[in-house]
Amino acid sequence: MQGLSCAINSPYSGSLTPIKHYKRERRVKIVGCHFVHYNDGMPNSRPLLDKNLYHSVEHFNLEKERIFYSTWQLAGHRSQLANPGDYVCLHIADQHVFVICGEDHEIRAFYNVCQHRGHELLQGSGNTSKTILCGYHAWAYGTEGQLKSARNTANTEAFNKCDFALEPVRIEQALGFVFVNLDNDANSLQDSAGEMFEDIKKHVPHVDELAVSDKYETEGPDLEANWKILAENCLECYHCAPSHPAFCDFIDMQSYRATAHGAWLRSYGELGKADNKAYPVEPNEPSQKAIYWHLWPNTELIIYPGEAAMTTFRFHPKTEKLTGTSSLMLLKPGESIAQERIDYRWNTLWPEDRAICLSVQKGLQSRGYRGGTLVVNEEQHAVSEHAVAAFQDLYRQWMSISGTVS
């Protein structure tokens, strides 16, 4: 049998690193841990990450430094930042950032912290007009980040407002989506995921017409699970038949394909039956497929069968066992989504996945769990976890964890 054809771009070089297969009872060293329980030389099994990586404070602190402070994080969409003073806030692990439209209509990003005593400046999203006012001591900043005024400092010796401008954050846009990166030396968004945005444009030709609908904007409840559990669950449909019966009636599982492309992965499935257990879709509707684009490490851009729309889903870790979730719905101006579709996606499909993630988090902390294996089937992607293997290999690379057999 041929080995898995999927390959991954190393984030540190342009070379391709093929997915490897490991033999039973041989051990892979990883920061004092090891993998066990492999199948005998079979290309349809892969070792999992060590379970301790899903609830270790030490490893979470390393993840913040090595992954989240150096990757492109979705902040929002340009339609949320159309007017001077419009802003959105986001958390990147324990770092807080806001993106704002300046009076010159340029979109900029800054750390969300006053340079006086460290108080946060903005919350949520909205419009701050021409001035960002700190709620602690009323230092006032302009929308371009400059300090405009600081109370009772006019006669302070050697006080220069230019020394206290907000700290900028790197920002880039693609197809209207706004991303930030805390690492000024990281690869550009185009270098990291330019082909992903080209693929989105191919499958969503109307993407430039879409805007965020405030009606469907969601800051979801925190998930009491490690962020990697949620990411891995989004990257395979091996669990779909037992866990998502309506989804399997909705999407043609024979058409399901999961592929890895370096810093991004894609799951694709065509509409199965127009009249199905999820919600009906007319044959003349703009989308006749479901596609999940996953941008490493924690962003999903999604289309579903039906209306001309896109959904974003970002899951951002707060602790090693707590993950925040947020979602945006993008539609053509004046259009809406039938309530039965909203109900299925957020009141059926998401609760099914949420329950899975909560259960897995508990199981990975069990003393009785010895560590399993990933099931890989390159012929039938709907019952394969090869995209999870690709995600875990990316994780090993970014975390500098050895993936070679000793």
Cβ neighbors of 88 (< 8 A, separation 6 or more) are 75, 76, 80, 81, 98, 99, 124, 125, 178
Angle at 296 between CA 30 and CA 169, to 5 degrees: 110
Give the pLDDT of residue 267: 98
Please report which residue ranges of 204-347 form alpha helices under DSSP H.
227-234, 240-243, 245-250, 339-344
Distance CA 353, CA 386 (A): 19
Residue 45 near residue 4, CB atoms below 8 Å? no
Q: 386-398 and 227-234 helices cross at what angle (nearest 10)?
A: 140
- Give the highest mean pLDDT range of 38-42, 73-77, 150-154: 73-77
Q: Which residues of 167-192 are buried (b: 16+ CB within 10 A; e: fewer)?
A: eebbbeebbbbbbbbbeeebbebeeb
Please, which pLDDT band fits residue 167 given cuts at 50, 70 and 90?
Answer: very high
Give the pLDDT of residue 223: 96
Q: Which CATH class is domain 7-70+208-398?
A: alpha beta
96-126 pLDDT, tens digit per residue, is 999 999 999 999 999 999 999 999 999 999 9
Give one word for 106, left, alpha or beta, with left for phi > 0 and alpha for psi -120 to 50.
Answer: beta
Please, which pLDDT band fits residue 338 given cuts at 50, 70 and 90?
Answer: very high
Two tokens, residue 308: 């001309």
Residue 70 near residue 181, CB atoms below 8 Å? yes
| Gap between the terminal Cα atoms of the chain | 24
Q: State CA 131 to chain mean position distance.
A: 31
Average pLDDT over residues 230-251: 97
Give the pLDDT of residue 44: 63
Residue 320 near residue 194, CB atoms below 8 Å? no
Give the pLDDT of residue 46: 78
Give the pLDDT of residue 403: 55
What is the helix (H) or strand (E) element at residue 29, kind and residue range? strand 29-30
Give the pLDDT of residue 216: 78
Structural domain boundaries in the chain: 7-70+208-398, 73-185
Please report which residue ranges of 30-116 form alpha helices under DSSP H.
57-63
Per the DSSP assignment, residues forming a β-bridge with 8 are: 17
Please, which pLDDT band fits residue 23 given cuts at 50, 70 and 90?
Answer: very low
The DSSP symbol for 20 reads P
Average pLDDT over residues 57-86: 98
Distance CA 247, CA 278 (A): 6
Two tokens, residue 324: 């925040």
Q: Do domains 7-70+208-398 and 73-185 have the same CATH topology?
A: no
Q: How many percent of the chain have pLDDT more than 90?
A: 83
Fold of 73-185: Rieske Iron-sulfur Protein (2.102.10)
Please say if the pLDDT value at position 20 is more than 90.
Answer: no
Q: 227-234 and 350-364 helices cross at what angle (nearest 10)?
A: 130
Please say if the pLDDT value at position 214 is more than 90.
Answer: no
Determine what percent of the chain falls in helix, strand and coil, rounding each to the nearest 5: 25, 30, 45
DSSP one-letter string for 174-192: ETTEEEEES-TTSPPHHHH
Q: State CA 358 to chain mean position distance.
A: 18
Angle at 93 between CA 303 and CA 235, to 5 degrees: 35
